[in-house]
Chain A
Amino acid sequence: MNDRRAFLRSAVATTAVAALSAAAPADAAPLAIPESNTVLGAGVNDTPYGSPSKYERDVVRRTVPFLTAEDKSSVSFTPLQDLDGIITPNGLCFVRDHGGSAMDIDPVQHRLVIHGLVEQPLEFTMHDLLRFPTESHVYFMECGANGGMDYKGAQMQGVQFTHGMLHCCEWTGVKLSVLLNEVGVSPSAKWMLAEGADAAAMTRSVPIEKVRDDAMLAWSQNGERLRPENGYPLRLILPGWQANLNVKWLRRLKFGRDPWETREETSKYTESLPNGLARQFDWVMGTKSVITGPCPEKPMAGRGFREVTGLAWSGYGKIARVDVSFNGGVDWKPARLQDPILTKALTRFRIPWEWNGKTALLQSRAVDDRGNVQPTHAQLLKARGGNAIYNKNSLQTWRVNPNGTVDSVQVG
């Protein structure tokens, strides 16, 4: 390894700046037959599930150890900088637990109970649930605390840590409205409590309008059963809403007249304002975007052409437009959106850039089909102050330095 690093250092020639200048293409070395052409490969089923190439070993979830007291009630971050398209591979979906990832629950033993203000309380096995008509939808999922470390100022150096409490999967399951019909939910039911089977017995209150609209119970993500750390065997999906409400390891739904005012919807997941009050029930994840390349983990490779790419999303609907600025928000250009553009899903955007080797301030700005425009950080700070922690959807600024490195900064 050290040989390789030494080689890389010498290959930089004299300085990083020299390497960055547009050098004339060198003659390529004569080609050799690759070793892979000369030996038989592995058997087709040597790895019956399969795993990424060993050369992709740095594409992993990461944590910020100092954020939390220990690693059970904590969070890992999706490596957005290494991902293409809009779908997050299951093994890279960020994990936020409050009492550890629940033990691998036996789906045969698992039960879902629906009760409270219903005509007939029912208990469902996974076998029961899989018999209902199913649907598949691509939705993003974002932790309410995504970006929370950067409310007061730029603190995290890397898109994995500034925006990585985010994933986007194709979820398969049953619409919750189907099950509401099955138990006969009373017209007097205004709220639903969702409860998990983990050590935190996570509970959140959901208003009935969302339950009836597009809520679903999912057992699959990206075509296979949920990963244990993402709620196996069953989780609630509330499209576009703060991920904490999308209760994992779902075991109980109870209908009632009032919100339960649980710990996670009073003392947590509320946004403290400078006047001492706190915003509660801020469920919808706001219109938001971020450039995932370049970013601190993916610096500039040299002057000249660089495709700038990133992700945009809105808990309100579809992304209508993404604009990109190269001078800190003074001037903007519309980026090209990549199909498919789905409601409450990540949307990939791209825009070509000719870099002149000088300092540049890159921002992206999302606009959704309801007309919501992603706010500047100054606008968000003015509205909420620096202690809000949750639902930070303001513009991210990356400073591209003359040596090609990229830093997270905030601008006025």
Chain B
Amino acid sequence: MFKSGKAPLLVLCAVAFLAASALADAGTRYGFGTPIAPADIAPWNSDVNGLTGAGLPPGSGSVAQGAQIWETKCASCHGEFGEGAGRYPVIAGGRGTLKEDVPQKTVGSFWPYAPTLFDYIKRAMPFPAPESLSDDEVYALTAYVLNLNDIVPKTAVMDAKALAAVRMPNRSGFIKAQPDTKNDACMSACKPVPVKITSDLVNLHVTPDEREVGDVGSTVELNSTGTPPPLDLTASVAPAAAVVTFAQVAPIIAQRCTVCHSAKPTEAGFTSAPLGIDFGSPARIKAQRAQIVAQSVKTHAMPPGNVTHMTDQERALVGAWVSAGAPLP
């Protein structure tokens, strides 16, 4: 399989590079495996180097072509203009926010290399149908995403040469990690007393818990031997007093959420429930309660842009219903 003249060179390399434990293997070739020609590797050999653009294939695509593909294959998750839907990644915007308390890390604000965009879309997007786009389509989407981020003009056409030449705004924004913390192993009187508690989550209630939201942090039941009972996944927790009823919550969901989140959305642009999240029945609403709290009570991620004008009072009411165990009629 190999020319014998190469063996001494390999041994030298081994001495130079290999750890002592690996030396035992140096020089031993077992002959297992089958030689494979570059042409036969080609279908898998599609990686693109983000730094150099090496591996970018022939083909091209324009911003305008990308816009059309985006609308049908990308916008349902990433938003029509890359603003993101639900928890799906925001693609555009965020320039100048990296030093802020809540940095928006997008392609335009954060990604250091443009060819990485081609590589990633080609191998992993669209999320439900990876490896389904042609190289021309990937170039077009790359052009569109760069244009959404004001990095290339709307007349731009991307091909291997053009993409490798794009300089991303945050290109010099990365440093090689080095050890950055140092602690000594102090054993006594290491800091002043009393110790200050800087963060206390006892009232946050965002941790998932089969005992129902709101139960964590309350008094734990202890039996006569002092052993806490195991989580009972089948028991339902009796609602607390003054429970918010489903009847109070249902009209809020109907008015603020189901224009999109139903099997037949009435909101323009939706032909089915986004992300398959359908509030078509009380049981389905209850099943999604953790997401509802995360998206609409703890944060204002939903409704997107508060397009249906959900009030803070309504959000609180929905939260209280979930905290009460999301009782259904």
Which chain A residues have a beta carbon within 8 Å of chain B's beta carbons? 1-2, 4-5, 8-9, 11-12, 16, 19-20, 26, 55, 57-58, 62-70, 72-73, 98-99, 113-115, 119-124, 128-129, 131-133, 153-158, 161, 175, 177-178, 181-184, 187, 193, 195, 199-201, 203, 208, 212-214, 251-252, 254, 256, 258-263, 266-267, 270-272, 274-283, 286, 296, 298-299, 301-302, 321, 323, 327-333, 361, 365, 367, 372-376, 378-380, 383-384, 386-387, 394, 399, 403-405, 407-412
Please tell me if the beta carbons of A375 and B195 are within 8 angstroms of each other in the complex: no
A410 to B179, CA, bound (A): 23
Partner of A181, one of B25, B38, B187, B188: B25
In this complex, the member of A131, A175, A409 whose beta carbon has the largest number of chain B beta carbons within 10 angstroms is: A409
Q: Which A residues lie within 8 Å of B198 (CB)?
A: 153, 378, 410-412
Please tell me if the beta carbons of A70 and B174 are within 8 angstroms of each other in the complex: no
Please tell me if the beta carbons of B226 and A182 are within 8 angstroms of each other in the complex: no
Query: Is B134 on the interface with A (CB-CB < 8 A)?
Result: no
Question: Lowest 3 CB-CB distances: which A-B pairs, in order?
Answer: A66-B294, A261-B50, A328-B195
Nearest B residue to A296, CB-CB? B216
Query: Is B260 on the interface with A (CB-CB < 8 A)?
Result: no
A69 to B127, CA, bound (A): 12
Q: Jot down 14 A-B pairs with beta carbons below 8 A, ordered by A.
A: A20-B222, A55-B230, A65-B208, A65-B291, A69-B88, A113-B36, A122-B35, A157-B217, A187-B13, A199-B124, A258-B51, A261-B116, A266-B111, A407-B217
Given contacts A5-B232, A19-B226, contact A158 B207 (CB under 8 A): yes
Q: Which B residues lie within 8 Å of A55 (CB)?
A: 230
Please tell me if the beta carbons of A267 and B19 are within 8 angstroms of each other in the complex: no
Interface locus among B26-34, B156-164, B305-313: B26-34
A361 to B194, CA, bound (A): 11
Categorize the interface residue count of chain B: 35 or more
A270 to B116, CA, bound (A): 15
Partner of A260, one of B14, B50, B182, B191: B50
Please tell me if the beta carbons of B216 and A412 are within 8 angstroms of each other in the complex: no
Nearest A residue to B16, CB-CB? A187
Please tell me if the beta carbons of B200 and A332 are within 8 angstroms of each other in the complex: no
Q: Which B residues lie within 8 Å of A67 (CB)?
A: 87
Q: Which A residues lie within 8 Å of B202 (CB)?
A: 157, 407
Nearest A residue to B181, CB-CB? A375
A280 to B121, CA, bound (A): 22
Please tell me if the beta carbons of A412 and B195 are within 8 angstroms of each other in the complex: yes
- B12 to chain A: closest CB distance in Å? 9
Please tell me if the beta carbons of B175 and A262 are within 8 angstroms of each other in the complex: no
How many A-B residue pairs have C-beta atoms within 8 angstroms? Tell me. 345
Q: Which B residues lie within 8 Å of A98 (CB)?
A: 124
A296 to B204, CA, bound (A): 14
- A23 to chain B: closest CB distance in Å? 9
Please tell me if the beta carbons of A181 and B6 are within 8 angstroms of each other in the complex: no
A281 to B51, CA, bound (A): 15
Please tell me if the beta carbons of A182 and B29 are within 8 angstroms of each other in the complex: yes
A4 to B123, CA, bound (A): 53
- A24 to chain B: closest CB distance in Å? 12
Please tell me if the beta carbons of B187 and A279 are within 8 angstroms of each other in the complex: no
Q: Which B residues lie within 8 Å of A330 (CB)?
A: 188-191, 193, 195
Query: Is B201 on the interface with A (CB-CB < 8 A)?
Result: yes
Please tell me if the beta carbons of A258 and B98 are within 8 angstroms of each other in the complex: no
Which chain B residues have a beta carbon within 8 Å of chain A's beta carbons? 1-2, 6, 10, 13-14, 17-19, 22, 25-30, 32-38, 41, 44-45, 47-52, 77, 86-88, 98-99, 101-103, 105, 107, 110-113, 116, 119-120, 123-124, 127, 130-131, 173-177, 179-191, 193, 195-202, 204, 206-210, 216-235, 275, 290-291, 293-295, 298
A195 to B302, CA, bound (A): 36
Q: Which B residues lie within 8 Å of A394 (CB)?
A: 181
Please tell me if the beta carbons of A99 and B124 are within 8 angstroms of each other in the complex: yes
Nearest B residue to A275, CB-CB? B99
- A204 to chain B: closest CB distance in Å? 11
Given contacts A200-B123, A410-B199, contact A212 B19 (CB under 8 A): yes
Nearest B residue to A408, CB-CB? B201
A214 to B219, CA, bound (A): 48
Please tell me if the beta carbons of A199 and B130 are within 8 angstroms of each other in the complex: yes
Task: Known A-B contacts: A12-B221, A123-B34. Give 20 more (CB < 8 A).
Answer: A1-B235, A9-B221, A65-B291, A66-B290, A66-B291, A121-B37, A121-B38, A122-B35, A123-B33, A124-B32, A155-B206, A161-B208, A178-B30, A277-B175, A278-B173, A279-B175, A329-B190, A333-B187, A383-B181, A407-B200
A8 to B101, CA, bound (A): 46
Partner of B195, one of A26, A131, A271, A361: A361
Please tell me if the beta carbons of A184 and B2 are within 8 angstroms of each other in the complex: yes
- B123 to chain A: closest CB distance in Å? 4
A129 to B123, CA, bound (A): 26
A270 to B221, CA, bound (A): 42
Nearest B residue to A26, CB-CB? B224
Please tell me if the beta carbons of A261 and B233 are within 8 angstroms of each other in the complex: no
In this complex, the member of A260, A380, A410 whose beta carbon has the largest number of chain B beta carbons within 10 angstroms is: A260
